[in-house]
Amino acid sequence: MALKQERLRVNLDASKALTTKTRRHEEIQRKGFGKYRILDRTNSEVTFRPCKPPGIPRVFLVFFVLLVVHFFGLRLIIGKGMDMGILDDFKLDGKTAVVTGASAGLGRGMAEGLAEAGADVVVVSRTAERLEGVRDTIRALGRRCASVPADIGDASQIPGMIAAAKAMTGRIDIIVNNAGTSFRSPPEDFPEEEWRRVMDLNINAVWYCSQAAGKIMIEQGDGGKIVNTASLLSFQGGILVPPYAASKGAVMQLTKSMANDWAKHNIQVNAIAPGYFTTDLTAPIKQDETRSRQIIERIPADRWGDPSDLKGAVVYLASAASNYVTGHILTVDGGWMGR
């Protein structure tokens, strides 16, 4: 739109003669017209047009656009070819994870950690009622979550559990074999049925669940992650828990064996060896004041672990950040094994 020309009558007597451009500027500015451009001047009046405000220099506009591009993510427009940074390697968006023994304790902590990193999660435990809490928590995060009741200590229930887990999204990308149990007794009096029960859940279920999930990962053709729950007793003998120590030692060796065989399929198999954590399984030890004090005295971190302390470890081993890590046993123990 053309700017309207204005005419200003000014006093041109000798005392106020506008003899210079500067004086004309001052006279007109005093009358409230601000910036202007002279178009014509006669003896008694000046014709002028108010000027447009000065524009923003082009270099500042370019700089501003670059800032917007940087902070609001041109990389989202350009696509996946741009380096997204290491933090993005820990994201699990679009992944489906299965966690056994997920109703409480370590399993629940890891299931919630995977969901917080973006994964949809299938939680498995013996009864559906015990899974309601973790299921609702994961759904509240905006992730899909299915609860599958199954006693995987009974190998015949594992194929159905894996099929139900896959049905949620049509694939399985991650499996965390966490379900486990224990029983304390002197070796000479250890009941045979308890030996079999511990071994069936702690090592046989790890093998059969890994085998079934591994087949699916191979068929999918884009790799996968298997994370097993080992123990400090994968390295030490323990006291009054012969099948627990035996089974957790076997978990460590099975992890390494599967890692070797499935590396060609881009499937990484690792294990987490938790230290002393506050769970239902360790409650009898923690309630023993003498034994609990002895444990705390050896832990450099000076505390028992909390299930949330495993979130970082499981997300790392389940994500692209660990693509060159396989056959590893990661201790999360507050420094116990380094003492």
Q: Which residues are catalytic?
A: 244
Integer Cα distance of 142 and 42 in angstroms: 76
**Eight-class DSSP state of 233:** G
Under DSSP, the state recorded for 223 is -
141 three-state secondary structure: coil
> How many CB atoms neighbour CB 26 within 10 A?
12
Question: String of b and e for 126-163 (b: at least 16 CB within 10 Å)?
Answer: beeebbeebbebbeeeebebbbbbbbbbeeebbeebbe
Q: Which among 174, 172, 164 is positioned nearest to 124, based on CA atoms?
A: 164
**Rg over CA atoms, the chain:** 35
Looking at residue 8, its amino acid is L
Distance, in Å, from the CA atom of 64 to the CA atom of 188, rounded to the nearest integer, reads 78
310, 138 in Cβ contact below 8 A? Answer: no
Q: Which residue has the tokens 């049905």?
A: 167
Position 292: which residue type?
S
Distances (CA, A) of 1 to 33, 36, 39: 19, 17, 18
